[in-house]
Amino acid sequence: MSVYYCHTCAAIKGWMTAASPASLTGTEYQLEKYIKHTTASASAAYPIVSIFDNPSYDIYRVHVVNTSASGSLEIDDQGRRNLIWVAGQQVGFTVREGKIVTPDNAVKVVLYNNEWKIHAFPTSSDRFETRRCMECGKLIVS
């Protein structure tokens, strides 16, 4: 079961140290994920995929930075660090079998501390819950 921390508590514990990749498309894996989540044609290759509204690398990088600066931390069952941030506006959409099923207003940055695999994708805040930080009890979106 995943555990969740507010940004402040995660930072105090030293878990908010981000990977510092020179490029978010610097590895074959990252480039594949970038294309998957910024190209509408990617929806044909996947039964379900979320795609950012704006395919610009600069906007993609801004989403990663904003999520890193404000997101809550999820540590999943495998110990991977992921960040969740509700953007407050539409940032993308989810496509299932070629049809748009939801507008997406949140960003998830996965593998946050792995400079070779860190990447982001848009998602709907409807997929998250309000929980309490495991450390301080503050309400967070997770």
Q: Is the pLDDT of residue 47 over 70?
A: yes
Q: Is the pLDDT of residue 72 over 80?
A: yes
Instruction: Summarize pLDDT for 99-116 with one digit per residue, the tens.
Output: 999 999 999 999 988 889
CA-based R_g, the chain, Å: 15
Q: Please answer whether residues 1 and 77 qualify as being in contact, where contact means their C-beta atoms are separated by less than 8 angstroms.
A: yes
Tokens 């190209």: give the residue: 39
Q: Is the pLDDT of residue 18 over 70?
A: no
Q: Mean of the pLDDT values across residues 51-70? A: 93
Q: Mean of the pLDDT values across residues 2-30? A: 89
Return the pLDDT at 40.
79
Instruction: Summarize pLDDT for 79-90 with one digit per residue, the tens.
Output: 999 999 999 999
* Burial zone of 30 (CB within 10 Å; 0-12 exposed, 13-18 middle, 19+ buried): buried
- pTM score of the predicted model: 0.92
